[in-house]
A and B are shown apart, each in its own frame.
Chain A
Amino acid sequence: MSKHYAIKCTNCAAPLDILGGGRVNTVTCSYCHSILDMNDHYKVLAKFNDTKRPQGPFKIGMRGNIKGVEWTIIGWIAYRTAEFPAEEWSEFFLYSPTHGYAWLVYENSKVYFSKRVRDFDLLTWQEKKPKTLFYHKGHYLQKEASYLTYIDYVEGELNWVAKFGDKFTTWDYDGVGFQVLNIEKTGEEIEVYHTERLDKSDIYSTFGLEYTQKSKTNKSMEKKDIHTLQKEEIQVEQIEDSKVKHGFLFLFIIISILSIMSLFYNKTIYTTHYSHDINSTFTVDSSAFLTAITLSVTGQGTENNKLWIYKEGEKIFYIDKDNVFFAKKSLSHSWDYDAISATIYLKLDKGVYRLVAKKNPNQTATSLTIEQQVIRTKYLIPLLVILAFFIVSSYLHLLKGKMGIVLVILVAIIIAYTIFGWEALFGLGLFIYFVTNSYDDYYAEEDD
């Protein structure tokens, strides 16, 4: 903080008001465009020759209220990007004795307020340069690649030495409600700015500017542009967020009901203990869910058992130690040789079925039970755990940007386990290790 005062340009003797507190380092003369060093007797650091002041509604010395704080415009920089050199925008350096320095950005007739933040975890960002990030509970997405910006015009006070043609790289992350996080790198120095769009008519009014007729006709649209659109965008995100949460919750309830039903809903429709081959019938009176056939033996295992199921004289299911056949298709996996029990799940329609079973001669007894309306908890329980995990994490915002990766890994684990069993998890672990390493390498390369 310091008092306002006036100096004379050490190059052209033009009077220059110093408005901007103790942290300004340079002032660029509005007349001769010499950059004067505030810390070294206003020594001329550089001069802009033949520079042309850009068009813009704001001027140095104007005062206005933004976000409840009185600001004075003390400096002005115009920028261009290397990619689109025809497009220029202006940033007006603001000063407030209580809130320090900020920027009023004027681009494509829109106005934004931008202020440096220092609570962004830059060290982590520099390691990975992620495409999405979280800042103050807001989610930000990098929609475009980083771009190169250079300075086209400088006037007034600044808190660093800015010269014509100086370049820096910017990474923009878009958030909701027209908020942007700008990460700017000049040499080794990196700064982060939080930018938000302002209501143009309000800003024109507070800085004492008159709205043009064209602007006035667009005033209602402008109002809608900021207030309504911001609100709508936030509402859309909240609704989508809410939809996801409710979706998870709905699925959780459905699967919970199914899990509970699985305990009580199944109905035994046939049961027998036999010590010789059997040829019998059973009736399925509900086609809901699955029909389970459970075979258990004493002695040498199920290896030499054989089972046929017929409907209306046609074979629809067969199993022995080597083959499984169901609904005109051969299946690959039969029961284990040394298993002493096996459960076969079939999707059977209502109707009367014939069951033929040949027992293993080494077994003293075999029991066979057929249940209908069976719900398999093997799939339901892991799904319940995953859904509970996502419900909790979506309410507590625990996983943040890694949510997608975690989701993919969890789903992959479930699929791998259900298809290949526990052995698959080792291979999956290697795969995840490879993917995460590639992910890091990708961003490291982009960094370079």
Chain B
Amino acid sequence: MPNQFSVEKQFNCPQCGYSLSLYFKHTKLIQCESCKSTIFLEDDAVRLSGDSSVLAPEISILELNTPFFFEQKSYLPLGKIRYSYGRGFWEEWWVKDTQNNEYWLSVDEGDLVFQQKVEVTYPDDLFDRLRIGLITSDGWVVTELGEAKCKGFAGSLPKNIVVGSTYAYAHLSGKDAKLRTLELVDGKLEAYEGKWISPFDIGKIL
């Protein structure tokens, strides 16, 4: 399967001058591959955040900027955020397909969940009332509640993140094995919906 992803834009790191490639125009945050500086992208301007985030190398089924295929479609991992849950961590990978659709692929000890951002209407105090086993008004069952702590990121992202920040999340299960994740970030509810996928269904593009 040929690599169908191309570089949309190139610019130099304002810190070290290293040439950086952008594969997606909606990128808001990028980490310099060379000096690990965090760079904000605002329209055509680039700005250093003053932070640098270095993630400890870990074996993963995905590799940044290396396409993979799933269900006969190719995807490109653009960036990842690592979250801690105490003794371990999981990673949220920002990926895009060849039509520039954005997805989030959660990778947690071989459990992969492939999701896209969706709009939902829940009451403002939803997170106060959530408990495991609760069925929401639209038929989703709450299966897990927790708090995620951002350990850092690599690659590029469509949003700004703050290393060390925390947010509450809820995992829900729906009909036809659909999965939904709700996140309460800075008091604002974000929702993602998709499905679990087997790590054996992820293929490398040679």
Q: Is the CB of A98 within 8 A of B60?
A: yes
Q: Is the CB of A99 within 8 A of B61?
A: yes
Q: Is the CB of B175 within 8 A of A121?
A: yes
Q: Convert A99-138 into 0s and 1s, putting 1 for each residue whose CB lies closer than 8 angstroms to a CB of B.
A: 1111000000000000101111111100000000000000
Q: Is the CB of B200 within 8 A of A99?
A: yes
Listed stretches B11-19, B41-49, B85-93, B161-169; interface member: B85-93
Listed stretches B2-10, B29-37, B106-114, B116-124; interface member: B106-114
A22 proximity list for chain B (CB < 8 A): 85-89, 109
Q: Which residue of chain A has the shortest Cβ distance to B85 in the bound complex?
A: A22
Q: Is the CB of B86 within 8 A of A98?
A: no
Contact of B199 among A38, A99, A120 (CB under 8 A): A99
A119 proximity list for chain B (CB < 8 A): 177, 195-198
A96→B60 CA distance, assembly (Å): 10
What is the total number of residues of chain A having a CB less than 8 Å from a CB of chain B? 25
State whether the Cβ of B115 lies closer than 8 Å to any Cβ in chain A: no
B133 proximity list for chain A (CB < 8 A): 188
Q: Convert B79-104 into 0s and 1s, putting 1 for each residue whose CB lies closer than 8 angstroms to a CB of A.
A: 00000011111100000000000000
Q: Is the CB of B87 within 8 A of A122?
A: no
Instruction: Give A13-27 interface residues, CB cut-off 8 Å to B.
Output: 21-23
Contact of B59 among A23, A38, A97 (CB under 8 A): A97
Q: Is the CB of B177 within 8 A of A121?
A: yes
Q: Which residue of chain B has the shortest Cβ distance to A116 in the bound complex?
A: B111
A123 proximity list for chain B (CB < 8 A): 141, 173-175
Minimum CB–CB distance from B117 to chain A (whole Å) comes to: 20
State whether the Cβ of B179 lies closer than 8 Å to any Cβ in chain A: yes
Contact of A23 among B61, B108, B179, B198 (CB under 8 A): B108
Minimum CB–CB distance from B28 to chain A (whole Å) comes to: 26
Instruction: Give A375-424 interface residues, CB cut-off 8 Å to B.
Output: none
Q: Is the CB of B200 within 8 A of A118?
A: no
A39→B85 CA distance, assembly (Å): 11
Provided the pairs A97-B58, A101-B110 are in contact, do residues A38 and B87 lie with their beta carbons within 8 angstroms?
A: yes
Minimum CB–CB distance from B59 to chain A (whole Å) comes to: 4
Q: Which residue of chain A has the shortest Cβ distance to B197 in the bound complex?
A: A119
State whether the Cβ of A2 lies closer than 8 Å to any Cβ in chain B: yes
Contact of A117 among B175, B176, B196 (CB under 8 A): B196
Q: Is the CB of B110 within 8 A of A99?
A: yes
State whether the Cβ of A444 lies closer than 8 Å to any Cβ in chain B: no
Q: Is the CB of B175 within 8 A of A124?
A: yes
State whether the Cβ of A263 lies closer than 8 Å to any Cβ in chain B: no
Contact of A21 among B109, B175, B196, B198 (CB under 8 A): B109
Minimum CB–CB distance from B54 to chain A (whole Å) comes to: 16
State whether the Cβ of A67 lies closer than 8 Å to any Cβ in chain B: yes
Q: Is the CB of A118 within 8 A of B196?
A: yes
A1→B108 CA distance, assembly (Å): 7
Q: Which residue of chain B has the shortest Cβ distance to A189 in the bound complex?
A: B143
A169→B57 CA distance, assembly (Å): 41
Q: Convert B56-89 into 0s and 1s, putting 1 for each residue whose CB lies closer than 8 angstroms to a CB of A.
A: 0011110000000000000000000000011111
Q: Convert A243-263 into 0s and 1s, putting 1 for each residue whose CB lies closer than 8 angstroms to a CB of B.
A: 000000000000000000000
A117 proximity list for chain B (CB < 8 A): 196, 198
Contact of B109 among A101, A121, A124 (CB under 8 A): A101
Q: Is the CB of A118 within 8 A of B179?
A: yes
B174 proximity list for chain A (CB < 8 A): 123
Provided the pairs A98-B59, A98-B199, A99-B199 are in contact, do residues A118 and B89 lie with their beta carbons within 8 angstroms?
A: no
A215→B88 CA distance, assembly (Å): 41
B90 proximity list for chain A (CB < 8 A): 1
Minimum CB–CB distance from A140 to chain B (whole Å) comes to: 15
Q: Is the CB of A1 within 8 A of B89?
A: yes
B111 proximity list for chain A (CB < 8 A): 100, 118
Q: Is the CB of B108 within 8 A of A67?
A: no
Q: Which residue of chain B has the shortest Cβ distance to A121 in the bound complex?
A: B177
Instruction: Give A70-101 interface residues, CB cut-off 8 Å to B.
Output: 96-101
**Most chain A beta carbons < 10 A, residue from B59, B85, B87, B110:** B110
Q: Convert B165-190 into 0s and 1s, putting 1 for each residue whose CB lies closer than 8 angstroms to a CB of A.
A: 00000000111110100000000000
Q: Is the CB of B87 within 8 A of A2?
A: yes
Q: Which residue of chain A has the shortest Cβ distance to B113 in the bound complex?
A: A118
Subset of 26 A-B contacts with CB under 8 Å = A1-B58, A1-B59, A1-B109, A2-B89, A21-B88, A21-B109, A22-B89, A23-B88, A23-B109, A39-B86, A67-B200, A97-B58, A98-B60, A98-B61, A98-B199, A99-B110, A99-B199, A99-B200, A117-B196, A117-B198, A119-B195, A119-B196, A119-B198, A121-B175, A123-B173, A123-B174
Considering the complex of A and B, which 10 residue pairs feature the smallest CB-CB distances, nearest first? A22-B88, A100-B110, A118-B196, A100-B109, A97-B59, A99-B110, A2-B88, A98-B61, A99-B199, A23-B109
Q: Which residues of A contact B (CB under 8 A)?
A: 1-2, 21-23, 38-39, 67, 96-102, 115, 117-124, 188
Given contacts A1-B90, A22-B109, A119-B198, 10 further A-B contacts (CB under 8 A): A1-B58, A1-B59, A1-B89, A2-B87, A23-B88, A115-B198, A118-B177, A118-B196, A121-B177, A123-B175
